Each structure stands twice: as C-alpha cells, then as structure tokens.
C-alpha cells in the first residue's frame, strides 16, 4: 500500500515537472515574437562613448561645463537636480567667484535666520539646486541620479533626447496605438509615447564659451556626460582606489612568493 502511494507521489511530481517545463518553454518560444507595439518598435540606446567610460575613465571637464550649460539653459526649466550643491561645481573647474555668481542667480526658499520664517533669497554656494515647478503634462523626474536610475545610463539619456521621430504608419494608423494628444513619439522611451516635448529641437540653444558648435547631437552628448557626473561625482576617486587595491594585492603576492622561496630554500637540494 505504502509502495503504491509513493509511486503515485513520484508520478505526481514528474507530471508537475513536465507540465511546468512545457508551459515555460512555450511561453519562452512565443515571447520572442512581437506581440505588442512596445516590443516591436522599442529601440535600444545608441552607442555613446564618453571620457568617463571604463576603468581608466576620467571626466572631460570642458564637456561637463558644456553639459551644465545645456542643463541650465534647457533642462532646468522642468527638471530639478536636488542632489547637487552649487559648490560641487568646483569639480568642473569653476572658480569660487564663478560658483557664487551661478548660485546667486537662483532663488532659494529657506528659513530666514532672523525671523524664522520661510523666505526667498538669492542662492549661495552651499545651497542645493532648488525644486522646479512644472505646470505641463507628466512629471519630470529629478535628474541628479537619472544615469544610474535608468537601464542604459548615459547612452539612454542621449538617445532619448535625440530620439524623437514621426510615428511609424503602422502605429499612427491605428486609433489604439496612435500617440495620444499631448504626448510625443519616442522609440527609446519604454512605452513609446513620452510627455516631454523634444527638449533639443534645434541647434544653438546654448552658446558654448569654448567655441564648440552647439548642434543638437553635441548638446545631447554634453548633457549626458554632465548627468554621469551628477550621479557619480566621485567616479575618478573610485577608479583610483580600485587601482591602489590592485597594486597592493600585486605587491602582497610578490612578497608572499619571495617569502615562500626563502622559507623553502633549505629543503630543496
């Protein structure tokens, strides 16, 4: 009796196993086929090579300054940058006076030390970039950590801001998939229709002080490089610490090899 019972239990498990493998395999096989517009038309980020890439990566300060210019002139109308303080801009090569001047252009709502009330005052180097009030459609996310927060990082941001195109006829012709009023078609955005109007719609939105020509593509690259810095200002220090460790480990390896030779030198003939 017990025997029959255990055979039945075994059969039950085998059946369960077979069932789950076939169901999963079928799901996997059909998943590869385009079943939704998102799957069919979504595009992976374009290639973007930046100075800060790779283990030897260093920031290109001139590019970061240009990218900051693009943020300030264009993106800051809608996006905040709350994790960055004005004084952090020293890392981009700005002098203290330049930072004071940049901060002073911002209006900061803070507690007045005399009256204790909230009051508007000009920004100071220790202030963080202020919140942004946006009245349009959608919610512009804070950009401080966006290159870490989105799969694809800087290449994603670059592709997104340069990626607006006309909607393919197959989607535009169908009322179910047609881009809704007030949204914009962008194949790099997860659901293809984004509430952000094309932010870099024409060349020359900023004037670069280093003479670089501000094409749409250039501005997109520069602002993406800048957003790598805002998300990880200590990237260079991390790379350096990594190399120190590798160096130290190599040194210890050599040292222990020499010690080993020394200890065993008498026993080997």
Q: Which two tokens stand for residue 28?
A: 């996997």
Is residue 59 exposed (0-12), middle (13-18) or buried (19+ Cβ within 10 Å)?
buried
Please report, as ranges, the residues that interact with ligand HEC according to CB under 6 A. 70, 74-75, 77-79, 136, 138-141, 146, 150, 157, 160-161, 194-197, 199-200, 223
Q: How far is the CB of 205 from ligand HEC (least distance, A)?
A: 8
Q: Which two tokens stand for residue 36?
A: 């939704």
Q: How far is the CB of 102 from ligand HEC (least distance, A)?
A: 17
Closer to ligand HEC by CB, 67 or 123: give it: 67
Closer to ligand HEC by CB, 151 or 269: give it: 151
Closer to ligand HEC by CB, 125 or 130: give it: 130
Q: How far is the CB of 51 from ligand HEC (least distance, A)?
A: 18
Q: How far is the CB of 145 from ligand HEC (least distance, A)?
A: 11
Please give the backbone phi and psi of residue 113, each rounded to the nearest 5 degrees, phi first: -65, -25
> Measured between alpha carbons, how far is 69 from 73 in angstroms, rounded to an integer?
6
> Measured between alpha carbons, how far is 193 from 70 in angstroms, rounded to an integer?
24
Q: How far is the CB of 195 from ligand HEC (least distance, A)?
A: 3
Closer to ligand HEC by CB, 16 or 182: give it: 182
Is residue 239 exposed (0-12), middle (13-18) or buried (19+ Cβ within 10 Å)?
middle
The angle subtended at Cα 138 by Cα 137 and Cα 142, nearest 5°, is 130
Q: Which two tokens stand for residue 217?
A: 């593509």
Closer to ligand HEC by CB, 47 or 139: give it: 139
């Amino acid at each position: 009796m017990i025997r029959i019972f255990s055979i039945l239990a075994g059969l039950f498990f085998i059946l369960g196993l077979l069932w789950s493998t076939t169901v999963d395999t079928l799901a996997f096989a059909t998943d590869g086929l385009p079943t939704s517009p998102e799957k069919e038309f979504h595009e992976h980020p374009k290639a973007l090579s930046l100075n800060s890439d790779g283990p030897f990566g260093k920031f290109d300060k001139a590019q970061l300054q240009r990218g900051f210019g693009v943020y300030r002139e264009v993106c800051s109308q809608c996006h905040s940058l709350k994790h960055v303080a004005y004084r952090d801009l020293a890392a981009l090569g700005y002098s203290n006076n330049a930072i004071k001047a940049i901060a002073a252009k911002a209006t900061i709502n803070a507690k007045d030390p005399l009256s204790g009330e909230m009051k508007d005052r000009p920004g100071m180097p220790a202030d963080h970039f202020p919140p942004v009030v946006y009245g349009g459609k959608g919610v512009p996310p804070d950009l401080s950590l966006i290159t870490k927060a989105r799969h694809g990082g800087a290449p994603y941001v670059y592709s997104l801001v340069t990626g607006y195109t006309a909607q393919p006829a197959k989607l535009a012709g169908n009322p179910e998939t047609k881009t809704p009023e007030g949204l914009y078609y962008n194949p790099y955005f997860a659901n293809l229709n984004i509430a952000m109007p094309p932010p870099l719609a024409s060349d020359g939105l900023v004037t670069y002080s280093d003479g670089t020509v501000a094409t749409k593509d250039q501005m997109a690259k520069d602002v993406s490089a800048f957003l790598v810095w805002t998300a990880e200002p200590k990237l260079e220090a991390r790379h350096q610490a990594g190399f120190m460790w590798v160096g130290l480990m190599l040194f210890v390896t050599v040292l222990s090899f020499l010690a080993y030779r020394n200890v065993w030198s008498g026993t080997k003939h």
